[in-house]
Amino acid sequence: MDTYKRLPLAIQRGKGCWVWDTKGKRYLDAVAGIATCSLGHSNNALRRSLTAQLNQIQHVSNLYEIPEQEQLARWLVDHSCADKAFFCNSGAEANEAAIKLARKYAHCERRINRPVILTAKASFHGRTLAAVSATGQPNYHKNFEPLVEGFKFFSYNNYQSFITSFEQAEINGPSVCAVLIEPLQGEGGIHPGEVIFFQKLKEKCVKEKILLIFDEVQTGMGRTGNWWGYENLGIEPDAFSIAKGLGGGHAIGALMVKNHAALFEPGDHASTFGGNPFACKAAYTVATEIERRNLLPQVKQRGSYLKDELKKLVNRFPKQLKEVRGLGLIQGLVIRDDAALTAPAFIHLALKERLLVLAAGPKVIRIVPPLIINNNEINYILAKLEAALNNCS
Ligand SMILES: *Cc1c(COP(=O)(O)O)cnc(C)c1O
């Protein structure tokens, strides 16, 4: 169907941070499959481990024990605040699992009959019906009503707005069972979470026995320079969803939970493909490669270099650009509201300069390169952004 508005580019192959189109033209890929190809394209470790996995076994059902799944679960638990994992195939599915878990928690632990989950305005949680209902952006809801009930919205980073939504939801007694929130809003415009807001939010959740669930689909797996976005905020969620960067470009998602929230029992939830040997081997390879190459400090360093240089660009183009927002290797270059330029238009200009970037809303240019990017490649991004800006001014 006509589901996607596609750019006039067919990518045929890739190596590291670079891709080539069917005509042999080379581009720097600062999209990375939308923050998924963490190790870049055609990574040697992934090629080796996945070739071996293809030769061994590709898919078995969760009717059986799956050693590759146990190995990945063990790694994730050892490297996060969580104690248990449920595996699925995408970010939306991980959030679906989180929503079902929150509702089971409401019914079984809190005796709430009509549970409400609070989520943020300008959030993004995916496109399945419950995930899109949880998404605080009306444009994603249009024509898909009736939505799944039981979601109420508050303004991100605004504690007063959170309290107002909480109190409205609880007007006839307890009903709020969970908060689902991104530690940095990605799709909604690259808004990092504020430490003070999140600390107050955490306190309130503990006090009211509300599950605090993070959507780490875009921020997780090293994107911000820490393994998990919550580490930037000095708090731990009760559960968090991951996907995008987890498989290094292969389809896998997970819901990670602490023991006290690990309420699913046999029969509650399942996925045919979730946690299969191939996907789990991909994710385990990504995780252990990031560790072996000690990429996290590098993501921080290169991310702050990129951010500092983007700020200089903002100073050089004050009529077009407003500011830079982001953490590590998820950065948003924000276009001024009163500039004629839009992010989608800029994407085309960048493409002409052989640079792939994407939008996060109408006025934010999102830069999410592979985590392996080096300083020369960052300089290439900066030079091409500048060239594209010169072409539109
Ligand atoms: C991309 C994204 C999702 C949806 O993930 P899919 O794999 O496309 O279902 C959910 N939440 C956040 C924060 C995302 O960035």
**Ligand 1, atom 10, residue with closest C-alpha:** 125
CB atoms within 10 A of CB 229: 30
CB 192 within 8 A of CB 326: yes
**Ligand 1, atom 11, residue with closest C-alpha:** 125
- From the list 200, 197, 242, the residue with the least C-alpha distance to 81 is 242
Ligand 1 touching residue 96 (CB < 6 A): no
As given in the structure block, the two tokens for residue 349 are 């200009």
Centre of ligand 1 from the C-alpha of residue 218, in Å: 7
**Ligand 1, atom 5, residue with closest C-alpha:** 91
Confidence of residue 98 (pLDDT cuts 50, 70, 90): very high
Ligand 1 touching residue 125 (CB < 6 A): yes
- Phi, psi (degrees; rounded to nearest 5) at 235: -135, 165
Q: Which amino acid, 292?
A: R
Partners of 358 in the β-ladder: 366
Centre of ligand 1 from the C-alpha of residue 359, in Å: 15
Confidence of residue 393 (pLDDT cuts 50, 70, 90): low
pTM of the predicted model as reported, rounded to 2 decimal places: 0.98
Average pLDDT over residues 181-197: 98
Read off the pLDDT of residues 376-391 as tens digits, 9 standing for 90 and up.
Answer: 999 999 999 999 999 9
Ligand 1 touching residue 185 (CB < 6 A): no
Ligand 1 touching residue 243 (CB < 6 A): yes
Ligand 1 touching residue 215 (CB < 6 A): yes
Pocket test for ligand 1, best of 90, 217, 224, 366 (most atoms within 8 A of CB): 217
Phi-psi region of 105 (alpha: psi -120 to 50; beta: other; left: phi over 0): alpha
Q: What rounded mean pLDDT belongs to the chain? A: 98
What pLDDT shows up at residue 392? Answer: 85
Average pLDDT over residues 261-266: 98
| Correct CATH for 44-292 of 3.40.1710.10, 3.30.450.20, 3.40.640.10, 3.40.630.10 | 3.40.640.10
Average pLDDT over residues 189-203: 98
Average pLDDT over residues 357-370: 98
Ligand 1 touching residue 216 (CB < 6 A): no
Percentage, residues of the chain above pLDDT 70:
100
- From the list 254, 244, 248, 216, the residue with the least C-alpha distance to 69 is 254
As given in the structure block, the two tokens for residue 81 are 């605040």
Partners of 180 in the β-ladder: 119, 213
Average pLDDT over residues 104-132: 98
Ligand 1 touching residue 92 (CB < 6 A): yes
* Cis, peptide link before residue 8, omega less than 30° from 0: no
Average pLDDT over residues 230-234: 98
Centre of ligand 1 from the C-alpha of residue 131, in Å: 9
CB atoms within 10 A of CB 54: 12
Classified by CATH at the fold level, domain 11-30+294-392 comes out as Aspartate Aminotransferase, domain 1 (3.90.1150)
Confidence of residue 62 (pLDDT cuts 50, 70, 90): very high
Read off the pLDDT of residues 75-89 as tens digits, 9 standing for 90 and up.
Answer: 999 999 999 999 999
Ligand 1 touching residue 218 (CB < 6 A): yes
Read off the pLDDT of residues 143-177 as tens digits, 9 standing for 90 and up.
Answer: 999 999 999 999 999 999 999 999 999 999 999 99
- From the list 178, 205, 208, the residue with the least C-alpha distance to 117 is 178
Centre of ligand 1 from the C-alpha of residue 258, in Å: 21
Q: Where are the domains of the chain?
A: 11-30+294-392, 44-292
Q: Which atom of ligand 1 is nearest to the CA of 187?
A: 15
Centre of ligand 1 from the C-alpha of residue 173, in Å: 33
Ligand 1 touching residue 132 (CB < 6 A): no
Average pLDDT over residues 342-367: 98
Average pLDDT over residues 128-137: 98
Ligand 1 touching residue 214 (CB < 6 A): no
Average pLDDT over residues 264-270: 98
